[in-house]
Amino acid sequence: MRGKRLRRGACLMAICLAALCAFSPACRAASQDRVSGTGYFFDTVVTVTLYGAPEGLMDEIWAACGAYERLLSKTVSGSDVDRINQAHGETVTVSADTWDILSRALEVSRATGGAFSVTIAPVTALWDFTRGTHRKPSADELAAALPLVADDRLQLGEGYTVTLPDGMQVDLGGIAKGYIADRIAEKVRGRVTAAVLNFGGNVYTVGRKSDGSAFRVAVRDPQSEAEEGMLVLSVGDTSVVTSGTYERFFIEDGVKYHHILDPVTGYPAASDLDSATVICESSMTADAYATACIVLGSEKALQLLEDQGLPGLLITKSGEVLTTAGFEDMCPIYYY
Ligand code: ADP
Ligand code: MG
């Protein structure tokens, strides 16, 4: 569905999403039982706001984040992902968490025609956006890495086993934060009156504001430096995930290279999209599809989201806002 065009302006928010009400002074005054904390996990800033939480829940959340990081990070030695990536063709046994993520990743890989590829690791390693030492790989390096991107060769067996041909590796960067958001949402549900979990682009809102209204989640204008030009979504108890070409990138010789890679070319996705927001009760699903949408471009992405029954909002490079059919009935949009 064709929508409005964003007003371009300068925006201070580096990343897309914040539960605006949760941080407004008015709301703070009205919610004496609100606690908020910030941590750094999964290479991103994590912000958790809890309403009516029992003592110790915040600490439990940070402990869980640490445990997931030790399990799922490719840069933590001995993590499940590290063991898979160092297995050189041997079968490894992983946790149920890791196996479940890989299993869902393969489903999304198939549904997106490989636009989402969990075996993208040999290519992401060449660009190396995570460690901040990014550089543009040579065409030869990419040509050597691309045959190793082959999700259909990732085997998941009984007893949580994982087998990859030697040389292949997995990268959960496009899906793991969603999985963790789901697990933390599960952990707080029933123990708080409401919560807003923000895993740097993956937002999960649990419950509603104390006045019964829905939380509001902001989506930034990808090409803007200031809050002007943002739009805000009013969402119920669900997850809102945005992937964008502005999250991690570098510019070389006037060309922008961002961290969402096209598994066919090995280069940053060159579609017409700058940002894709997907809404789903499963943050893991929303996460993987949002990444795939950037690769696919607006036309295929809208079709994909419609086929999957996933509400989505896409922002093109020219600032056009596109939504899946019926999006605004479910999720009103406020333009700023
Ligand atoms: P972020 O993690 O910054 O919120 P995404 O969810 O879109 O953004 O994930 C981007 C990350 O996913 C990259 O940093 C990389 O680790 C991985 N990735 C990049 N391209 C793909 C792809 N085509 N399929 C699956 N994962 C990808
Ligand atoms: Mg993602």
Atom nearest to 200 CA in ligand 1: 4
In the structure encoding, which two tokens stand for residue 297, read together? 């471009």
74 lines ligand 1 (CB under 6 A): no
Query: Among residues 107, 76, 78, which one has the least CA distance to residue 94?
Result: 78
Q: What single DSSP character describes residue 110? A: H
297 lines ligand 1 (CB under 6 A): no
**Substitution candidate for ligand 1 out of 151, 291, 315 with most atoms within 8 A of CB:** 291
What structural domains and CATH numbers belong to the chain? Answer: 4-69+175-335 (3.10.520.10), 74-163 (1.10.3980.10)
Q: What are the respective helix, strand and coil percentages of the chain, to the nearest 5?
A: 35, 25, 40
Atom nearest to 115 CA in ligand 1: 23
246 lines ligand 1 (CB under 6 A): no
120 lines ligand 1 (CB under 6 A): yes
For ligand 1, atom 24: residue with the closest CA? 116
For ligand 1, atom 15: residue with the closest CA? 173
Query: Among residues 276, 331, 328, 318, which one has the least CA distance to residue 301?
Result: 276
What is the rounded CA–CA span in Å between residue 219 and residue 335?
A: 10
- Ligand 2 is an ion; residues with CB less than 5 A from it: 174, 243, 287, 291
Atom nearest to 244 CA in ligand 1: 7
- From ligand 1's centre to the CA of 174, what distance in Å? 4
245 lines ligand 1 (CB under 6 A): no
State the chain's maximal CA–CA distance in angstroms: 59
259 lines ligand 1 (CB under 6 A): yes
Q: Cα–chain-centroid distance for residue 203?
A: 9
Print pLDDT tens along the chain (336 aa): 656 776 554 333 333 344 443 333 333 333 559 999 999 999 899 999 999 999 999 999 999 999 999 999 999 999 999 999 999 999 999 999 999 999 999 999 999 999 999 999 999 999 988 766 778 999 999 999 999 999 999 999 999 999 999 999 999 999 999 999 999 999 999 999 999 999 988 999 999 998 999 999 989 888 877 655 578 898 889 999 999 998 788 888 888 889 999 999 999 999 999 999 999 999 999 999 999 999 999 999 999 999 999 999 999 999 999 999 999 988 889 887
Who contacts 65 (Cβ-Cβ below 8 Å, separation ≥6)? Answer: 39, 41, 42, 46, 180, 184
Are 57 and 191 in contact by the 8 Å Cβ rule? The answer is yes
287 lines ligand 1 (CB under 6 A): yes
Atom nearest to 129 CA in ligand 1: 14
Atom nearest to 116 CA in ligand 1: 24
* 120 exposure class (CB count in 10 Å sphere: 0-12, 13-18, 19+): buried
Are 310 and 289 in contact by the 8 Å Cβ rule? The answer is yes
Q: The sheet that has 231-235: what strands, in order across it?
A: 215-219, 231-235, 333-335
In the structure encoding, which two tokens stand for residue 66, read together? 């640490």
Query: Among residues 79, 325, 289, 116, which one has the least CA distance to residue 202?
Result: 289
What is the rounded CA–CA span in Å between residue 215 and residue 20?
A: 8
